[in-house]
């Protein structure tokens, strides 16, 4: 299946959440459209647990791009994939959400590439944006890698660095990194197709890993170091958000700052209540 609207690159796109659909939009703006999209199956979401399609599936539908939603990446799927797109040049993977086996990664003529939102080999894994902020990094960036079966270990095609603002939160940083990554991908695709990019192996001795974030990770102790708490507040600003327990109740921090080496809480959502100014419910500011 050859898509003539994609600057003569016949590629398959793998992705599921907003970061993937937003990358697809950047590709589209530059004239690159995938021949096929592969995304995860519809999942129950929200309080009512309504079965909901992924943002990437919705993008595929709105742009009339064929898509697949395999339950398993097994032999049956491989046969379906080969029948749908027998001669792809490339696979581009952005937050697909499942481990892709080596035989599938190597199906396209040029293999598979991935956008990762850190300066690999640092912060391999599920939460590179949050981890950079948690650890007080002053800079991060985007790495586009040739994919290997071991997570985030493939040779690097290109990297771009960017500073992290002292008050920047994970949602804001992620939005910038998505734009950087999408534009960087567009920039290298012609050279990649022409064989002009030489992959550089990662230094395994410098590799670090970041975990998948859990809801309970947002719990803070107000007696901890102020900078540590503020970094956690910035990192978890979207989810799971930071909270402290008082009188057995959870209090979610919605607005805070770091002033004169003190963590200043401005607004909270007390358990079971609406957002309020913190000073109205507590006259003591934690330091």
Share of the chain above pLDDT 90, in %: 89
Take residue 255 and report the two structure tokens written for it.
């607005």
- Flag whether pLDDT at 150 surpasses 50: yes
Same domain, 36 and 90: yes
Q: Does residue 287 belong to any structural domain of this protein?
A: no
pLDDT digits (tens, 9 = 90+) for 200-217: 999 999 999 999 999 999
Q: Does residue 140 belong to any structural domain of this protein?
A: yes
Same domain, 197 and 232: no
The predicted model gives 93-114 an average pLDDT of 95
Give backbone dihedrals phi and psi of 65, rounded to 5 degrees, phi first: -105, 130
CATH number of the domain within which 78 lies = 3.40.50.12230
The predicted model gives 167-184 an average pLDDT of 98
Same domain, 131 and 229: no
Same domain, 4 and 76: yes
Torsion (CA) 45, 71, 213, 60 in degrees, nearest 10: -60
Same domain, 97 and 11: yes
Residue pair 146/129 in contact (Cβ under 8 Å)? The answer is: no
Q: Does residue 226 belong to any structural domain of this protein?
A: yes
Domain boundary residue among 193, 212, 231?
Answer: 212
Same domain, 68 and 143: no
Mean pLDDT for all residues in the chain: 93
Residues in a beta bridge with 262: 259
Domain boundary residue among 163, 195, 212?
Answer: 212
Same domain, 134 and 154: yes
Q: What are the strands, taking DSSP E only, across the chain? A: 11-15, 36-38, 43-45, 50-52, 67-68, 90-94, 112-116, 124-125, 139-146, 156-163, 209-210, 243-246, 249-259, 262-270, 276-277
Q: Does residue 258 belong to any structural domain of this protein?
A: yes
Place of tokens 């004239």: 31
pLDDT digits (tens, 9 = 90+) for 247-262: 999 999 999 999 999 9
The predicted model gives 119-135 an average pLDDT of 97
pLDDT digits (tens, 9 = 90+) for 37-70: 999 999 988 778 899 999 999 999 999 999 999 9
Same domain, 255 and 169: no
The DSSP output letter for 67 is: E
Domain span holding position 53: 1-110
Over the range 182-208, which residues count as b (16 or more CB within 10 Å of their CB) and which as e?
A: bebbbeebeebbeeebebeebeeeeee
Query: In degrees, to the nearest 5, what angle opens at C-alpha 154 toward C-alphas 152 and 156?
Result: 105
Q: Computed over its alpha carbons, how large is the radius of gyration of the chain?
A: 21
Same domain, 83 and 62: yes
Same domain, 106 and 3: yes
Same domain, 158 and 247: no
Q: Does residue 172 belong to any structural domain of this protein?
A: yes
Q: Does residue 286 belong to any structural domain of this protein?
A: no
How would residue 171 be classed by pLDDT, with cut points 50, 70 and 90?
very high
How would residue 287 be classed by pLDDT, with cut points 50, 70 and 90?
very low
Q: Does residue 28 belong to any structural domain of this protein?
A: yes
pLDDT of residue 3: 42
The CA distances from residue 184 to 26, 170, 195, in Å, are 10, 20, 17
- Flag whether pLDDT at 280 surpasses 80: no
pLDDT of residue 279: 84
Q: Does residue 148 belong to any structural domain of this protein?
A: yes
pLDDT of residue 7: 62
Smallest Cα–Cα separation from 168: which of 128, 211, 139? 139
Q: Are strands 112-116 and 139-146 parallel, antiparallel or unpaired?
A: antiparallel
Domain boundary residue among 80, 110, 140?
Answer: 110
CATH number of the domain within which 234 lies = 3.10.25.10
Same domain, 150 and 229: no
CATH number of the domain within which 188 lies = 3.40.50.170
Number of domains forming the structure of the chain: 3
pLDDT of residue 54: 97
């Amino acid at each position: 299946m050859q898509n003539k609207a994609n600057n003569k690159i016949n590629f398959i796109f793998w992705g599921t959440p907003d970061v993937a659909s937003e990358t697809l939009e950047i590709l589209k703006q530059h004239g690159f459209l995938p021949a096929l999209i592969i995304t995860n199956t519809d999942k129950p979401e929200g309080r009512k647990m309504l079965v909901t399609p992924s943002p990437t599936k919705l993008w595929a539908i709105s742009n009339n791009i064929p898509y697949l939603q395999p339950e398993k990446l097994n032999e049956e799927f491989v046969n379906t994939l080969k029948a749908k797109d027998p001669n792809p040049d490339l696979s581009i993977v952005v937050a697909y959400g499942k481990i892709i086996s080596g035989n599938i990664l190597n199906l396209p003529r040029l293999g598979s590439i991935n956008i990762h939102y850190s300066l690999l080999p640092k912060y391999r894994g599920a939460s590179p944006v949050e981890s950079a902020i948690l650890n007080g990094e002053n800079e991060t960036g985007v790495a586009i890698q040739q994919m290997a079966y071991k997570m985030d270990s493939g040779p690097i095609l290109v990297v771009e660095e960017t500073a992290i603002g002292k008050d920047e939160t994970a949602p804001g940083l992620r939005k910038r990194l998505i734009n950087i990554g999408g534009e960087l991908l567009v920039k290298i695709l012609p050279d990649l197709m022409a064989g002009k990019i030489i992959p550089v192996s990662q230094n395994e001795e410098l590799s670090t890993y970041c975990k998948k974030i859990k809801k309970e990770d947002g719990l803070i102790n107000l007696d901890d170091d102020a900078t540590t708490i503020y970094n956690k507040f910035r990192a978890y600003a979207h989810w799971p958000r930071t909270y402290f327990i008082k009188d057995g109740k959870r209090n979610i921090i919605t607005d805070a700052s770091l002033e004169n080496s003190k963590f200043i809480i401005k607004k909270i959502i007390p358990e079971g209540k609406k957002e309020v100014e913190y000073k109205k419910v507590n006259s003591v500011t934690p330091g």
